[in-house]
Amino acid sequence: MAKLNRITLCAVCLFMLMACGEKLSPEEVALAEAKKTVQTSYEQLLAGNYDSFLEGRSGNSSLPENYREQLRASCKQFIAQQEKLHHGIRSFSVSNARIDSAQQLILVFLVLNYGDSTQEEIVVPMTEQDGAWKMK
């Protein structure tokens, strides 16, 4: 019987710990979603999936096809330029993100790690569009 009480007590304690777990604030959820969008989009860019990269941009669905083709060409050109200047982008990481309430943006800080062992931090502004965070 004592063993059953300990198991019950452990189960109750575990349940209470789970119930008391911190919920993320709406701001924390927005930051996490924006970071994830940047992460996914830049993975697609590095993989050469330019259409998928462009899907992470705001206003993408309403672009005329000729402009979309120009954006694809710009993506290819950017990757080729980085290859020439820095032996390519080998990896990247999201280093931080913060909310810019004045402009109603989330700023995601992305560190690009180049093939020549240099790094560069860029800022990717994100805007909410139809309930999702998109690159501006």
pLDDT, position 114? 97
User: Is 0.85 topped by the overall pTM?
Assistant: no
Residues 61-80 have pLDDT tens digits of: 888 999 999 999 999 999 99
Q: Do residues 127 and 107 make contact, with C-beta atoms less than 8 angstroms apart?
A: no
Residues 67-119 have pLDDT tens digits of: 999 999 999 999 999 999 999 999 999 999 999 999 999 999 999 999 999 99
Residues 6 or more apart in contact with residue 91 via CB below 8 angstroms: 113
Q: Do residues 125 and 107 make contact, with C-beta atoms less than 8 angstroms apart?
A: yes
Pairwise CA distance, residues 87 & 42, whole Å = 17
Beta bridge partners of 113: 91, 119
Task: Pick the more confident residue, 17 or 58.
Answer: 58
Q: Do residues 135 and 39 make contact, with C-beta atoms less than 8 angstroms apart?
A: no
